[in-house]
Amino acid sequence: MVLDGDGTAYGVGGLVLECPAKTVPELVEWALGEARLGAERLHPAGRDADPLVVLTAAAAARLGLPSELEDRRTWRLPEDHPVVRRITRAGWRLTRRGFGPWPRIYRPAADGRRRCVQLAVLPFGALDPRSWPGAEQLPAPRLAQILGDYAARVLTPRGSCAVNGLELMTALRPPTRPVREEGGDRWVPGPVPGSLSAAVDPAPPEAPEEHPVAAGRPAGQELDEEAHDWIRDPQLLTDAECGRAYAVGLDVNMAFAAAANRLPVGLGAPVHVREPRFDKKLPGCWYADLSGIGLDPRLPNPFTPHGDPPEGPAWYATPTLAYAVELGHDVRPSEAWVRPEHGPYLDPWYQRLRDAYLATMERLGVTPGMPEAEFLAAMERHRRADPGQAAVLSAVKATVKGGIGKLRERPQGRGHRPGQRWPALERPTWRPDIRAAVIASARVNMHRKMRKLAEGAGLYPVAVLSDCAVYLSDGPSPLDVLPRTPDGAPLPGGFRLGVNPGMAKHEGTRSLLWAAELLDAGHNPARHIKTGGAGDGEE
């Protein structure tokens, strides 16, 4: 529900209500009572979504809120602010986040009833323009429509898109469910099979440097699974490549979501093993030496984020070592931290976000199965077709990347000291090992496509950044780059144009001279090929 300054509240499906509230406590009572806002749970063991009321700048002013947050350090109203005091006097509470862009106002549950309302304060920056481009400037009825679309396809927003990504994991796989106590009639919380039911500490290699278990860890003993950021040595460009006119960027749709599909991840605590036999079906991190594996330098090395060969033994997530085995190499780890209890935890998360992405793309005129030329033309105009749905699309993508990033949330604020625990560690979903597995899987998937093009057509990228690869071409279109089989089909295993997650789209085209200048300067053309920006200060 989006509340405007005249007291009109706009909901999903054209619903319009009059809200008489003049204070935040009155608004909370109205949302829980007369308006009866909320949404049904996504899992039988989960909980219904709390009511969400989005406040425009005019509505915020009507409720006594300032036009912006002055405290840029805590990003919340001070505890002595009149609005905060009024909430407390009325018997309501704020969570530890206080009254910021996404305040949650509640009373302790009584008689099994949850009484909680989520607000989103637009003048406080609740809708980040990087995730929701242009949304804040939309009229209240239109904003209600696109937020309703996001809520129906993903979930009712509860914070930033990163927060939503993490909350969606929990909503689809709640940590506990009611179970009957053994030998009694009492119902107690029990774990949900396949879910993350308890917070566990990471293995030492998996922990960020601020974590207590990383204390005393030798240098170079951390797990470094990140996306590729690589450029080819300009000296390795051939005369034929230098004679081409264009640099064409190919970008994989929803690469991290696709990597999460059917990916086994650990559900419990890690177990240390000496001299293990590598098992590609067992999630974990493994200490192995892949430095002796010789690979074509015209492709990024698949075992490191920077794309250069590893210099000695290192820790790797299971998907990375599994790819080394796929390439025909004998992998013999000297030790490992493995998770015997595992499963495809992210599958329902992937499926819901995939469906949300495809439904939004359909609204923008792009559908699966389109002929390649028709798909490219639709992609050229899709964001202009409906700015509101384009904002939903951006939010869905940000939910994927932000949710994966939140699995390894770092300490917030300036007061944290290394080795000191921080609140995020107490979440079952604080799992840097799962983040590492997803990123490793995405990087491997990307490398596999590039390798297929290299082996099948002699095509090598000049730059790679995460899910974008840049190839030199005689023509400006991806159709000028991507090879075909004798019967005219796309080369098996390589990049295929299409809207589905894991397929590719056109990221941008620039001149060969533009790409060569960036390569010579040590900059990554894949970072700039969409906008054409270059160089100083942008890297």
The domain locations on the chain are: 2-129
For residue 317, list its beta bridge partners: 285
* Percent of the chain topping pLDDT 90: 88
Residue-level pLDDT at 181: 77
Per-residue model confidence (pLDDT) at position 539: 33
- Sorting pLDDT into bands at 50, 70 and 90, what band is 537? very low
Mean pLDDT over residues 169-191, rounded? 86
Residue 450 burial by Cβ neighbours in a 10 Å radius (0-12, 13-18, 19+): buried
pLDDT value for 511: 97
| pLDDT for the residue 256 | 98
- Burial class of 290 by CB neighbour count within 10 A (0 to 12, 13 to 18, 19+): buried
pLDDT exceeds 60 at position 499: yes
Phi, psi of 233 (to 5 degrees): -60, 120
Contacts of 504 (CB under 8 A, 6+ apart): 250, 251, 252, 253, 449, 478, 495, 496, 497, 498
The DSSP element (H or E) to which 107 belongs, if any, is strand 104-110
Which residue from 311, 354, 322 is spatially nearest to 445, judged by alpha carbons?
Answer: 322
Span 185-190, average pLDDT: 80
Question: Which of 301, 182, 281, 137 lies closest to 233 in space, CA to CA?
Answer: 301
- When pLDDT is cut at 50, 70 and 90, the band that residue 321 belongs to is very high
pLDDT score recorded for residue 178: 84
Q: Cα–Cα distance between 55 and 413 in angstroms, integer?
A: 26
Give the model's pLDDT for residue 535.
44
Which pLDDT tens digit goes with each residue over 229-269?
Answer: 999 999 999 999 999 999 999 999 999 999 999 999 999 99
Per-residue pLDDT tens digits for 189-203: 889 999 999 999 999
Average pLDDT for residues 368-394, to the nearest whole number? 96
Q: What is the pLDDT of residues 328-352, one digit of tens each?
A: 999 999 999 999 999 999 999 999 9
Q: What is the DSSP letter of 129?
A: T
Higher-confidence residue of 36 and 84: namely 84
For residues 359 and 352, the answer to whether their CB atoms sit within 8 Å is: no
Other C-beta atoms lying within 10 Å of the C-beta of residue 391: 27
For residue 226, the model assigns a pLDDT of 98
Token pair recorded at residue 70: 């002055």
Q: What is the pLDDT of residue 525?
A: 98
d(CA 395, CA 360): 11
Average pLDDT, the chain: 95
Alpha carbons within 13 angstroms on the beta-carbon side of residue 231 total: 18
Relative to beta strand 246-252, strand 504-511 is antiparallel
Residue 426: Cβ-neighbour burial (10 angstroms; 0-12, 13-18, 19+): exposed
Cα–Cα distance between 217 and 221 in angstroms, integer? Answer: 7
Handedness of CA 85, 89, 94, 100 (dihedral sign): negative
Q: What gap in Å lies between CA 416 and CA 202, rounded to an integer?
A: 19
CA 364/CA 373 separation, integer angstroms: 17
- Do residues 348 and 173 lie in contact, with contact meaning Cβ atoms separated by under 8 Å? yes
Query: What's the CA gap between 152 and 145, in Å, rounded?
Result: 10
Give tens-digit pLDDT for 455-476. 999 999 999 999 999 999 999 9
Q: What letter does residue 252 receive in the DSSP assignment?
A: E
What tokens appear for 54 in the block? 């989005």
Candidate from 204-218, 409-423, 434-448 with smallest mean pLDDT: 409-423
Query: Which pLDDT score, from 0 to 100, does residue 447 have?
Result: 98
Higher local confidence (pLDDT), 158 or 109 = 158
pLDDT one-digit tens code per residue, 132-163:
999 999 999 999 999 999 999 999 999 999 99
Mean pLDDT of 498-522: 97
Q: Looking at the predicted structure, is the pLDDT value of residue 4 above 90? A: yes
Determine the average pLDDT of the residues in 352-365. Answer: 98
**How much is the pLDDT for 534?**
59
pLDDT (0 to 100) of residue 390: 97
18: β partners: 8
pLDDT at 440 over 60: yes
Q: What is the distance between the alpha carbons of residues 75 and 99, in angstroms, rounded to a whole number?
A: 8
Q: Give me the pLDDT at residue 36, please.
A: 85
Give the model's pLDDT for residue 186.
77
**How big is the CA angle at 292 (ends 306 and 277), to the nearest 5 degrees?**
100
